[in-house]
Amino acid sequence: MKNVLVLTDFSQNSYTAAEAGLLLAGKLHTDLFLFHTYINYETITSYGGGGWIVDEYTERKHQDRIGLQTMTEGLESISSRLDPEDRKPAINSESNDSDLGLDVADLIHRKNIELIVMGARSNPPEEIGFGADTNAVMEYATRPVLITPGGTDLRKIHKILFATDFEKGDIEAVHYMARLAKLFYWKLEIVHVCDSGHDHCSNKEADFKNHLEKLDITGLNYQEINGKDVVNRIHRFLSNEPETILAMVHVQNSFLVRLFQHSLVRKALVNQKTPLLIFPSKMYQ
């Protein structure tokens, strides 16, 4: 049985992520797997310099068990309200004291992970999707990663907005999003995002459009965003469509990654409570 993996630190945002993971598991007919690491990236330097005091380690482990049990019980209560045609997922959990990225890589294969869900950091808010823990996950993830800000409710989402600059794997990502859109009755809008100073994007566009035309996706819409004011146009998209999931393929140092690290776009993601769906380029290697 496949699993939706929820990474939790027991913060309020991680509870939001867990509820989103439960809904996704129900629609995708998978089980749900909760994972927590004892390590946090604020204290990882001191941890690397020597072992923890035994009492501190024991207390963390005890609190971890309580946290996972509490979260599991809450999700089991919510699962009774899933739609009749959805699967009521079995909920399992695990914790570890090793590196988060390495743990994710191990779990993907050991637990047959379909999708990873994690809560966005809310402190500081401008670091949504680009904090140390998220970077650790993206370094090793070979499955889609959904980052959910506080207040995210997938039942209120109406659209997936996929920003593409025609990177390798974008068509495969479109197939995955089309599946989600069908299950949740979401619209799928694809926007061509390109740096006006790079003509290579236009050379790939015809091939990308040809692929889209061959796909049988109801409600698929495609439009272009380019020129010198891309950041402000993305900001307007997010402001006008607050109940949207923003999606992209993650290629290190790509134009899109640089674009979404822009302070204006990060602010829009937080203020509009916009979930971010990232497809690691390693999925398609």
pLDDT value of position 43: 43
* Architecture of the domain made up of 3-148: 3-Layer(aba) Sandwich (3.40)
pLDDT value of position 206: 80
| Full 3-state SS string of 39-93 | CCCCCHHHHHCCCCCHHHHHHHHHHHHHHHHHHHHHHHHHHCCCCCCCCCCCEEE
CATH number at 157-284: 3.40.50.620
- Positions of CATH 3.40.50.620 in the chain: 3-148, 157-284
Least confident piece of the model among 13-27, 168-182, 218-232: 218-232
Least confident piece of the model among 5-19, 46-60, 155-169: 46-60
User: 184: which 2 tokens?
Assistant: 């949740």
Q: What is the pLDDT of residues 95-152, one digit of tens each?
A: 988 888 899 999 999 999 999 999 876 544 444 455 677 778 888 999 999 999 888 8
Q: What is the pLDDT of residues 9-43, one digit of tens each?
A: 888 888 999 999 999 999 999 999 999 986 654 44
Residue 147 bridge partners (DSSP): 118, 276
Q: Which residue has the higher pLDDT, 225 or 243?
A: 243
Of the candidates 283, 264, 255, 266, the one whose C-alpha atom is nearest the C-alpha of residue 165 is 255
State the Cα–Cα distance between residues 75 and 84, nearest whole angstrom. Answer: 16
DSSP state, residue 214: H
